Amino acid sequence: MKNIGYCPQFDALVPKMTAREHIRFYSLMRGIHLAEERESVIKWALSSMKLKPYADEISSSYSGGNKRKLSAAIALIGNPPLVLLV
């Protein structure tokens, strides 16, 4: 699981979770257990994908483009050597 990042065409986001919560959750799933490393990943993802204004809003309120950006950020967590954008 750590070697592949997957970004589905149709989002697989939890509607009641925020971008920050999604990134934190998937960071843990990818084995990033140190809190300072997780916070660094969260800051990077929100900044790189321009999701800072939506960081603490639930994902069901996002536009399709912002959902896609969050899904892409999740796929890139942990810097996998292979990322599938489908």
Distance in angstroms (rounded) separating the CA atoms of residues 14 and 85: 19
Which residues have CB under 8 Å from 55's CB, separation 6+?
18, 19, 20, 46
Q: What range does the domain containing 12 cover? A: 4-85
Residue-averaged pLDDT of the chain: 93
Q: Provide the CATH number for the domain around residue 26.
A: 3.40.50.300
Q: What sections of the chain are H helices per DSSP? A: 19-29, 35-48, 64-76
- The yes-or-no verdict on residue 16 having pLDDT over 70 is yes
Question: Residue 26: in which H helix or E strand, if any?
Answer: helix 19-29
**pLDDT, tens digit (0-9, with 9 covering 90-100), for 34-57:** 999 999 999 999 999 999 999 999
CA angle 22, 23, 29 (to 5 degrees): 90
pLDDT, residue 8, reads 85
- Domains of the chain: total: 1
